[in-house]
Amino acid sequence: MTVGHGKTGPLASVVIPSYNHGPFIEEAVHSVLGQDTDLELVVVDDGSSDDSRRRLESIDDCRLRLILQENRGAHAALNRGIEASRGQIVFLLNSDDHFHPQRLPRFLDRFAQQPELCLLTSWLQLIDAHGLPIGVKEAWHNLPPWPQPRPGKGLADGGEPGLALLQSNYVSTTSNVAFRRAWWQRQGLCFSPLRYTHDWEALLAAAGRGPMAVLAEPLVSYRVHASNTLAEGRAKPGDPSKQGDPAERSDPAERGEGAMRFEILWTVARHAHPLCRHFAAQGHDMDELRSRAWRSLPRFGRDDLLAMLLQLRGDGPSPSKTFDALLQPSHPLRRRMVELLAGGDR
């Protein structure tokens, strides 16, 4: 479908990776199409087995493009949608969340005011499965997912959004991400095949490539419900509520709390050294950054595993092959770390 936005395309593109969120997908779509701005909406259905495709095909709006693919995972759907987008600014939205009516205008105004700004996020309105408000997540300022591991000043205390990301993923969801498409493509950024941290890993990679900022308004509603990927990570493999879920048919080393915690440690270990070097080049003291990083980086009570991952990653601009090999579910060291992080061996 061709959208009539002229040779340069629309001002904004919104990409929705859709997977088995039939009860929520229409609300997500209409929260985009109701925005008062020049936009296109690219929905990539990642092989949904529910009625998501039927619901999407029933929406008659020339700004909507629907791309169908076999199930390849959220990261693949996001990458395909971004590749297909044509807008100057790309917004991401999960198929179970929805935008505030003023999200696009507020974000586009901020991008226009700050030409150097590459990536923008905001506070979040947390809602339950029924859409009822739970609370507001104010970036790193409240509702931390875990306490800071060590006392003293942490990376989030300096007020730098990129450094605060090493302490926790305060952005919380891909629904809370917008960026300049030309910059994203020029930097070669993409979402990696990680089950639990594909959004966090991409954000950390982006934080070292250009300025980012946070709008102090809750401009997206993030739905917390039993089908969230992180909720799956906290469930035990074999949970009856997950029967029929593709994750339950995968290798046990790929799912569950231990696997989720391993991905978190692997993700922060991968980016800690390069991000600290990046901000040291911006004028921060490198020794102080290292001290704050050790106080701040999550480790779930396993200082030894975090230290091992940091050592395996190395100080170079790119991780060692040994470090990247740990993403293979069959890797014996990875399996052992997953067991330890799941609490099987304290």
SS3 category, 230: helix
Q: Which CATH superfamily is domain 12-223 in?
A: Spore Coat Polysaccharide Biosynthesis Protein SpsA; Chain A (3.90.550.10)
* pLDDT tens, position by position, 279-328: 999 999 999 999 999 999 999 999 999 999 999 999 999 999 999 999 99
Cα 334 from Cα 338, distance rounded (Å): 6
* pLDDT tens, position by position, 132-157: 999 999 999 999 999 999 999 999 99
Tokens found for residue 207: 């934080």
Q: What is the pLDDT of residue 227?
A: 72
Q: What is the pLDDT of residue 8?
A: 72
Indicate the helix (H) or strand (E) that contains 256.
helix 256-281
Neighbours of 54 (CB within 10 A): 10
Reported residue count of the chain is 346
Give the pLDDT band of residue 7 (cuts 50, 70, 90).
Answer: low
Query: Do 29 and 16 meet the contact criterion of CB atoms below 8 Å apart?
Result: yes
Tokens found for residue 168: 């926790």
Query: Do 270 and 207 meet the contact criterion of CB atoms below 8 Å apart?
Result: no
Give the pLDDT band of residue 106 (cuts 50, 70, 90).
Answer: very high
Cα 324 from Cα 314, distance rounded (Å): 11
Domain boundaries, the chain: 12-223, 229-341
- How would DSSP label each residue in 209-259? TS-EEEEEEEEEEEE--TTSHHHHHHSPTT-GGGTT-GGGGS-GGGSHHHH
